[in-house]
A = this chain, B = another copy of it.
Amino acid sequence: MHVDIGNALAVEATPGVAEASLDRLDDRVAAAHDRITAGVGDRDFGYAGLALPADIDPDAIHAAVEGFDPEAVLTVGIGGSALGAETVTAALGLDGHHTLDNVDPAAATRLLDGLPLSETLVNVVSRSGTTVETLANLRVVRAALADAGLEWTERTVVTTGESGPLADLAAAPDLPTCPVPDGVPGRFAALSPVGLLPAAALGGDVEAVLAGGAEGRRALSPSLFDCPAYAYGAVAYALECRGATTNCVVPYAEALEPFAEWFAQLWAESLGKDGLGQTPARALGATDQHSQLQLYRAGRRDKLVTLLRPTGREDRPIPAVDADALSYLEGESLGSLLAAEFEATEAALAASGVPNVRVELDRLDAEGVGRLLYDMEAACVLAGELHGVETFTQPAVEWGKRAARGLLGGGEFEEAAVVDEKTTLRIE
């Protein structure tokens, strides 16, 4: 991964970071790097995520899916238990990965009706084994398989913690299982069975994904000027402090759309605490130039725009036609048009003084996506260190879980009572 922060400097952008400020910040980056290195070495909670590329044995993943040669993989999981797997399979261009990561009845029916169930591997993922959406969906899937005359125990793998209801459920029929790595929150678990099992089942090169991650770990260094991951994390942090409270993430590759969702969780749950944290806003290049660029250039000065692309990619020519208005397209390709739009948009933002950072991969392949995921995790951990927040927890999510459980009759929770006291001002 390569990062160009030139358009985030104070000489270019408002808000922007003065080079002298970056120099001073670099001392704090060095100190944070020491803490990160120690935490990774000791496999401390959360930091253990940055040790995954070396700690994960791909053979255990292959063993779990051995004997399956599925046409489709259906991941039943939500949040960090789904987004990493979606990101990896999409980036690798693997067809056939689907996720049941919501409890929308219409969407569940649509998905299950469209799947070749007899050729589908069901991949259930929940660290705690108590995630309500996941357990509800597993019941729905089990019933759908039974209705199709299929035995769920013959086509299901489970990724979960060492103990818990899902581990128990897998034990009796002796389902193939993979462990969720210890001390790694879901959003930092993409480079583990949580993120890699569907890709492995569909023939993806998970060794190369892990190798890309390992390359990211080797590239960590005490100075932001020598380490793309830290350069990104430090600049995002510095810009947030200076007013860029939104981070617009714009991949110029449709295969990276799920990456933008994964990044949005990583950034929001890790850094959104203590009244801090950039709001991730997802977009897609070049499409959303026709949707969001007006706002980015002319709206509030509260945005960092992250422009992301692979520099090498398969191309497709724009064929010549006998008549049309755009003769200058002769000899161009979709790739050259996309590249021109990327650079034009970057310059358009700079011309308005909107800070933007260019993130580039050499290629969107297995190694490239492994590196990207690792580097963005490291960037996030660094930003958390610089802010001094608890990067690896998500305490604000619990209130709503208790309220929902109370509403469903799953126990006495005072939060559920609050739901009934809602202030109402309804306009019909």
Contact = CB atoms under 8 A, between A and B. Distances in A.
Interface of A: 2-7, 9, 11-12, 78-80, 83, 93, 101-110, 129-130, 132-133, 135-136, 138-140, 142-143, 164-165, 168-169, 224-228, 231, 245-246, 248, 252-255, 261, 264-265, 268-269, 271-277, 279-282, 284-303, 313-316, 318-321, 323-326, 328-329, 332-338, 340-341, 343-348, 350-352, 394-397, 399-401, 403-405, 407-411, 415-416, 418-419, 422-428
A313 B110 CA distance: 14
Contacts of A403: 343-344, 347-348
Contacts of A6: 422-426
Contact of A325 (B135, B255, B323, B329): B135
A302 B272 CA distance: 12
A283 B63 CA distance: 36
Nearest to A230: B427
A228 B425 CA distance: 11
Given A273-B298, A302-B279, A291 B79 contact: yes
Identify which of A165, A279, A345 gathers the most chain B CB atoms within 10 Å of its CB. Answer: A279
A348 B399 contact: yes
Nearest to A169: B324
Nearest to A406: B344
Given A110-B93, A286-B103, A324-B139, A352 B396 contact: yes
B132 A415 contact: no
A352 B397 CA distance: 11
A25 to B, nearest CB: 14
A109 B316 contact: yes
Given A254-B102, A319-B143, A324-B135, A224 B427 contact: yes
B348 A245 contact: no
A350 B423 contact: yes
A334 B298 contact: no
B290 A397 contact: yes
Contact of A301 (B168, B227, B261, B275): B275
A109 B301 CA distance: 38
B104 A425 contact: no
Given A318-B140, A404-B341, A130 B325 contact: yes
A338 B253 CA distance: 32
A224 B426 CA distance: 11
A49 to B, nearest CB: 17
B425 A293 contact: no
A133 B329 CA distance: 10
A291 B423 contact: no
B165 A325 contact: yes
A410 B130 contact: no
Nearest to A331: B409
Contacts of A226: 427
Given A135-B325, A225-B427, A295 B279 contact: yes
A105 B315 contact: yes
Contacts of A418: 347, 350-351
A334 B108 contact: yes
Contacts of A416: 344
Nearest to A310: B106
A105 B329 contact: no
Given A103-B337, A169-B323, A404-B344, A246 B83 contact: no
A136 B294 contact: no
Given A106-B254, A275-B298, A277-B295, 16 more contacts: A4-B425, A102-B286, A103-B337, A103-B338, A105-B335, A106-B255, A107-B253, A140-B319, A224-B427, A246-B279, A265-B292, A269-B292, A275-B299, A279-B279, A279-B299, A290-B397
